Amino acid sequence: QVQLVESGGGLVQAGKSLKLSCAASGSIFSIFVMGWYRQIPGKQRELVAEITSGGSTNYADFVKGRFTISRDNAKNTVYLQMNSLKLEDTAVYYCNAAYFLNYWGQGTQVTVSS
């Protein structure tokens, strides 16, 4: 079992930055592929970024060059640095841990205002 707790969401102006954190507990964090997803009401949850146990990263096209995912295995934490935020980045952001099974956090709201 893996428990994931996101933090760092909030209200931010367009063009500004925000950093999300996801703390994991309950299993061997380093083996998991960690990801950030987001969901807008009425739409499907979509991948934002993911990072493998070896540090390889993958980003959705709509965040490339603006968002950076990273992980600290010593702290069992994955981060999402979000720069140059846009209005359309407003969503609930979810942390995901994947290793045969998928585990999800409860989500954190990010609201970008003009």
Single-letter code of the amino acid located at 25: S
Q: Please, are residues 84 and 66 in contact by the beta-carbon 8 Å criterion?
A: yes
In this prediction, residue 55 carries a pLDDT of 94
69-87 tens-digit pLDDT: 999 999 999 999 999 999 9
User: What pLDDT shows up at residue 26?
Assistant: 73
| 39 burial via Cβ count (<10 Å: 0-12, 13-18, 19+) | middle
What is the distance between the alpha carbons of residues 71 and 78, in angstroms, rounded to a whole number? Answer: 4
Tokens of 14: 């367009």
If you compute the radius of gyration of the chain from its CA atoms, what whole number of angstroms results?
A: 13
**At 61, is the secondary structure helix, strand, or coil?**
helix
* Chain mean pLDDT for the chain: 95
Q: For 47-74, what is the mean pLDDT?
A: 96
